[in-house]
A and B are shown apart, each in its own frame.
Chain A
Amino acid sequence: MGAQKKGATARVSEDPEELARHPLQAILLADSFTTKFRPITLERPKVLLPLVNIPMINYTLAWLESAGVEEVFVFCCAHSKQVIDYLESSEWSSQPNFSVTTIESHNSISAGDALRLIYERNVIHGDFVLISGDTVSNMSLTQALQEHKDRRKKDANAIMTMVVKQSKPSPITQQSRLGTDELFMAINPVTKQLLYYEDKAEYSKGFISLDKTLIADNPSVILHNDKQDCYIDICSQEVLSLFTDNFDYQHLRRHFVKGLLVDDIMGYKIFTHEIHSSYAARIDNFRSYDTISKDIIQRWTYPFVPDVLCGSSAIKVERQGTYRASDVTLSRSAQFGSFTFIGQGTKIGTDTKISHSVIGERCTIGSNVTIEGSYIWNNVTIEDGCQLRNAIVCDGVILKSGAVLQPGVILSFKVVVGQQFVVPAYSKVSLLQQPTQQDSDEELEYADSTSGTGELRSDKLNGDIAPDLSETASELGTGGVGYIWTVFEGAYDEEWRHSVAPIPTDKLVKLMLDKDEDEELLTQDGNVISASRELKTDSDGNGSEDDDNEDSRDDYVSFEKEVEATFLRAVHENVKVDLAVLEVNALRLSYNMASVDCGGAIFYSMMKLAVESPHNSASELHRNAADIVTTWQKLLKSFLHDIDEEIEVILKFEEMCLESAKEFAALFPQILHLLYDKEILQEDAILRWADEKEGADESDKVFLKRSEKFIQWLREAEEEEDDEDE
């Protein structure tokens, strides 16, 4: 104890020096590693998308600078060239006390990869701020940093401080105003230590499970459903090395935070810092883009608002939160509603109504246009009579006269919408075709596009797509250019959740009613899941056990399928036996099965293959089986270590003959013999199987009787052997 204290005090004295030596550093991830902003992000990185006419990354960098960070490492991966070019040409490259360094990668597919790469570069020398380039905040870091440092002095395991903010999810959609899923956190109210973090809670489950030790160790724990994760983390150096040590950590929250929380060996701790009056939010999806844009216009993020950020350039704030650049050409009859931003060089025609919208630079908007709650970027042409509601319109888009954008539409770069065409709600339109093969792993998708837009464009636009354009003209009306992306199956229902458009009331009503029903179900569930003694007393109390059994049964079925698939692949691709053994073993471990199950499953796959290969007669089938067994005997044998496992195979075979592959029923003794000949089954196994079956029901003994001769022969052979021995 004494020694420890000494160490701690020594550290304190050292600390000011340390601070002096290391300027405060920050890692800014200029890649979100998600695909939520597709199709826009196929052509431009998310951090460069304009947020109230200023690229997002500017908000983040401006905040970092104001918060006292001196050195920022911008990690860019997707469209790295664009990010680097932008930063080099921007004012950020020439700030006196604020250095921005880019770190480029072409093959990182997750935040984990990024941090591992940064660790290798060895550029971080102390505590750092970890943030992604789509975060808008105006909080002061001083207090959070101080808390973090103080905790570090007392406990070297306190390696991270997460910034959280009060934000209660909607009682109906269970979604925050930023469009993110509800988050459950358990925090110790005294130490502020984070004890539980769940952002992907299954909706179907009506409860949250807290580990018993967690509650036992902390006399008081506050479980929060009303906090929002700001994705601003103050980390110690160890965080980077932890990512390197755990090479499977990908996602900052899902893997890293949860990983640390469940790992009680290392004892690393994460703490939270709650901000009350300042602003911090991350643009995660289109809904948060909308929400945060509005917050910026309403100046919650002050001083990070357009008129301040643009410095001297002439953007004036007028009454009712309207922002107008100096050289806007506005028709006298145009109505310019509250909370609206209009950028430089934009021309607006007569009788046009604009409200709650952002309009970028050099746009041309015709007459009689209605724009509500929309985000129109630069160089957009909107002809007369168009109607836009809750849409995002990227650079260079042309809306021909009379076009209508229904709520939630996203028009990516340079799309042209034909005359009088109505773009249906929630459509995403791009000049680029939708990537056909979507990788199921969400995090990988964004990386696919990292090859850079240059390629994509030159390849696709000039090459194959050109002839297609005429075809797509019909997709967006006459004269329209672009593809309407189809929504993935099942995703459509959820599209409104993350859309830029407000949630339609009928959805809310439906959700409310659904919820009522759910609640009824959940209340019933409550009886089963309650952690009280009712489990024993209630009549329906043993439900959970049944579930367990069912689970393991399901597991086995899917395991068997996997093994079969592996085996078939091995057969068709001539995979070496050793490799196949390895693969099956891996499956066994991942499904937590015994080798007994492997033997059964492999044998099952072999026999199934034999049945499925073409054959005309029983003898051919027998030959098929013999071939397969001969080729793959080593594979099967490597999972049959003892007699019990061999007996399992026989039992499995019996089961097959009765159910899935009745053709084998006639061949039972022959196959048995075959297996014996190939030394897959020892005679002991067969004899024991026979002995076991001796006492069974008559119906169970069908196969025993059929193979009686063979068994007889085996027994005699054994006796003979014994005789010889004597």
Chain B
Amino acid sequence: MDFQVVVLAGGNSKNLTPLVSKELPKPLLPVANCPVLNYVLHQLEQSNLKDLIVVVEGEDTALLVGAWISGTFIDRLHVEIAAVPEDIGTAGALRAISHHLTAKDILVVSGDLVSDVPPGALAATHRRHDAAVTTMLCSIPVSGPLESGSSGGKDKAKKLGRYNIIGLDPSKQFLLHIATEIEKDARISKRILHAVGQMEMRSDLMDAHMYAFKRSVLQEVLDIKDTFQSLKEDVLPYLVRSQLKSEALLNRTPQGEENSNEKVSSQNNQAFISRILANASTPSFHGLYSENPDGSSSTRKTHKCCVYIASSSSYCVRLNSIQAFMDINRDVTGDADHLLSPNNIIGPSPKLGTKTTVGPNCRLGEGSEMGDKCQVKRSIIGRHCRIGSHVKAVNSVVMNHVTIGDGCIIQGSVICSNVQLQERVVLKDCQVGAGFVVTAGSEYKAESLAKKEK
């Protein structure tokens, strides 16, 4: 397929401190002992999309990510790593690498997407409609710990204002309206509504940050609208808004031709009108609008904005907050364990002490050792960790090379690499940044612990 994939992998996300650091940028953040970027790349590979540009923020990050990718995906994917400055936004990042884009269509996907929706399906939808942009929508994930149930999660999502308002045509193929802000009243373009007749407004769908763009359209929009920073908040709404009056494609037709068309147009209007009146139900509303009053080749350009709606049973979450990190870790080892790619299978089983129980939905990395009478439930423990006796770990994530002293109790927490927990530490809903040392006997609740930046 003539598709080029751009993976926007990002760099240091502020939302995820203290989990990410210079040494461990966001793309490499382990989810069930496997960098998050792996999930996207794996899905792309499955869909036979092997021509990739991975865009990361900052040169250092680029080196780290590049090293990991070449180590893992060598001979399997054709990957270029591109480093862009920080804080230029998703549109800015694409603008920066615009000259690398050569294929007819570009698939842009966020590097923090953990999903089992095949990107190929999105690409196929895009191709089928010859769309300018196709975006993937998925149901809003249930957030928060499992116990809270689905209704609680829904409320939470609303409070966070994390959902979009999305307008779809009756066939649910075209995107007619998208707004990310919920504070204001929704303003729906009448023109689009006139063309389509009815529009379904959904607030239970989420933009999954996976887009397929027609390259020419994308590059023109990025060129013309140089203030656009975000794909989701600027480029996509712009394309959706202007879909019946596309400016992006206008310069394809020579100016002279347009003028001559206008002169003859009035005579032919009548024929056109009768066609409109006779043909009240056009198969696609775009067709109606793209026809020129003179009926000939169009000066009124339209472009199609399509959607691919992931089925409600599929899994699709973005790792963009600590809560999401916890959720994904929980789901990947639980309900959505099919996401774990084969190369994720754990090596030689870890050494366990006597009377140590490891419950279901757990992962233990290779080379980790556990003492006696430990309890591990719904938790992930990375590689080469040393865990003492009488340790309890519930709903937690422990990364690599962590040392946990005897009698520690860890609940709902994230322990980053190289952390040392001394004896009898009690952590509840905490995040412990890389290399931190928690002194013996201390207790923390809902805190974020990290080494001070030098």
**A binding-site residues for B, Cβ under 8 Å:** 168-172, 174, 182, 184, 186, 189, 201, 205-212, 215-216, 218-227, 505, 508-509, 512-513, 516, 519-520, 522-523, 526, 529-534, 537-539
Contact = CB atoms under 8 A, between A and B. Distances in A.
Contacts of B300: 516
8 contacts: A206-B189, A216-B203, A221-B201, A222-B201, A505-B270, A512-B269, A512-B293, A534-B234
Contact of B189 (A169, A207, A509): A207
B46 interface: no
B344 to A, nearest CB: 35
A509 B233 CA distance: 37
Contact of A219 (B182, B191, B203, B270): B203
Interface of B: 158, 165, 167, 179-191, 193-204, 227-230, 233-234, 237-238, 241-242, 244-245, 247, 266, 269-270, 272-273, 276-277, 280-281, 288, 293, 300
Contacts of A508: 269, 273
A641 B191 CA distance: 51
Given A223-B201, A530-B241, A534-B234, A509 B273 contact: yes
Given A206-B190, A207-B190, A509-B270, A223 B167 contact: yes
Contact of B194 (A169, A210, A221, A523): A169
Given A170-B277, A509-B269, A209 B195 contact: no
B179 A531 contact: yes
Contacts of B201: 186, 210, 215, 220-223
Nearest to A533: B233
A530 B269 CA distance: 32
Contacts of B195: 171
Nearest to B245: A523
B132 to A, nearest CB: 16
A532 B269 contact: no
A537 B229 contact: yes
Contacts of A530: 187, 237-238, 241
B238 to A, nearest CB: 8
B276 A171 contact: yes
Contacts of B272: 512
Contact of A223 (B158, B198, B234): B198
A532 B158 contact: no
A182 B197 CA distance: 11
A104 B439 CA distance: 90
A39 to B, nearest CB: 31
A172 B300 CA distance: 16
Contact of B197 (A215, A218, A224, A519): A224
- Which DSSP category, helix, strand, loop or mixed, fits chain B's interface? mixed
A263 B31 CA distance: 48
A210 B185 contact: yes
Contacts of B277: 170
Contacts of B188: 207-210, 223
Contacts of B273: 172, 505, 508-509, 512
B178 to A, nearest CB: 8
Given A168-B197, A509-B270, A537-B229, A220 B204 contact: yes
Contact of A184 (B181, B193, B228): B193
B306 to A, nearest CB: 19
Nearest to B241: A526
A221 B200 contact: yes
A532 B234 contact: yes
Given A531-B187, A537-B234, A212 B182 contact: yes
Contacts of A516: 300
Contacts of A220: 200-204
Nearest to A210: B186
A513 B242 CA distance: 19
A532 B179 contact: yes
Contacts of B245: 519-520, 523
A172 B270 CA distance: 13
Q: Which of B184, B187, B204, B238 has the most CB of A within 10 A?
A: B187
A522 B200 contact: no
A533 B233 CA distance: 6
Leading 8 A-B pairs by shortest Cβ distance: A226-B197, A219-B204, A207-B187, A221-B201, A210-B186, A509-B269, A533-B233, A532-B237
Given A215-B165, A530-B241, A209 B198 contact: no
A205 B190 contact: yes
Given A209-B185, A225-B196, 8 more contacts: A169-B194, A174-B194, A216-B158, A223-B200, A534-B228, A534-B233, A537-B229, A537-B234
B237 A171 contact: no
Contacts of A519: 191, 244-245
Nearest to A195: B201
B287 to A, nearest CB: 12
B288 A215 contact: no
Q: Most chain-A CB neighbours within 10 Å: which of B188, B288, B293?
A: B188
A208 B187 contact: yes
Contacts of A172: 273, 276
Contacts of B190: 184, 201, 205-208, 225
A222 B187 contact: no
Given A505-B270, A522-B191, A218 B233 contact: no
Which among B181, B183, B244 has the greatest number of chain A C-beta atoms within 10 A? B181
Contacts of B276: 171-172
Contacts of A526: 189, 241-242
A124 B397 CA distance: 68
A168 B196 CA distance: 10
Nearest to A508: B273
A534 B228 CA distance: 8
Nearest to A526: B241
A224 B198 contact: yes
Contacts of A222: 198-201
Contacts of B180: 532-533
A505 B267 CA distance: 11
Contacts of A533: 180-181, 229-230, 233-234
Contacts of A201: 190
A532 B200 contact: no
Contacts of A539: 227
A526 B194 CA distance: 16
Contacts of B242: 523, 526
Nearest to A217: B203
A509 B194 contact: no
B71 to A, nearest CB: 38
A168 B167 CA distance: 19
A182 B191 CA distance: 12
B302 to A, nearest CB: 12
B199 A223 contact: yes
Contact of A531 (B181, B194, B238): B181
Contacts of B185: 209-212
A58 B273 CA distance: 37
**Residue from B167, B183, B202, B273 whose CB has the most chain A CB atoms within 10 Å:** B273
A212 B293 contact: no
Contacts of A169: 194
Contact of B182 (A216, A505, A537): A216
A178 to B, nearest CB: 15
Contacts of A186: 201
A210 B197 CA distance: 16
Given A211-B185, A533-B234, A534-B234, A206 B191 contact: yes
Contacts of A184: 190, 193
A224 B133 CA distance: 25
Nearest to B165: A215
A532 to B, nearest CB: 5
